[in-house]
A = this chain, B = another copy of it.
Amino acid sequence: MPFSISIQKDDFDVGNEYASLVMNDTHAGAVVFFVGRVREMNQSRRVSGLSLEYYSGMTERVLEQILESAKQRWDLLSVRIIHRVGRLQLMDQIVFVGVTSKHREQAFQAAEFLMDFLKTQAPFWKKEITEEGEIWVEANQKDKVASERW
């Protein structure tokens, strides 16, 4: 599966995902990937976990559209996008974006592009579990700006 998207409750294994992306590919000179994890402090709140919600049907569709745009802009050999949903704990993996290309600048740009649009377009919503209770995360202006540069 050179291009694939998963939305899943289960964790993923970065080593396995990497191995699948490059397996038997003699042209993939460059592999870039990004992993997003649940971190302890967000906007000065202490986070112990997250609850992640999505819009089944639309989220997959938006991710496919973002992937399609990336394939049109860059010469990509394989792309893997995984986004977890449901309840996550501190340090859990949230998202994986892996890209292979012949050349590193294409792989880097495509991975950043995919993350920027995933963040601003794909219907996922995070609720943080904090000491002060459960708090819906507010959309980040910085992410919006990042997605507008493409």
Q: A residues within 8 Å of B by Cβ? A: 13-16, 18-19, 22, 24-41, 90-91, 102, 104-105, 107-108, 111-112, 115, 142, 146
Contacts and interface: CB of A to CB of B under 8 A. Distances in A.
Nearest to A107: B34
Given A33-B32, A91-B22, A108-B111, A27 B41 contact: yes
A14 B25 contact: no
Given A34-B104, A39-B102, 11 more contacts: A13-B15, A14-B18, A15-B16, A15-B18, A27-B39, A28-B39, A29-B36, A29-B38, A32-B33, A104-B115, A108-B111
B39 A29 contact: yes
Contact of A35 (B13, B27, B31): B31
Nearest to A46: B26
Contact of A32 (B15, B34, B40, B142): B34
Given A15-B15, A91-B26, A36 B104 contact: yes
Nearest to A38: B29
A28 B18 contact: no
Contacts of A108: 34, 108, 111-112, 115
A35 B18 contact: yes
A37 B13 contact: no
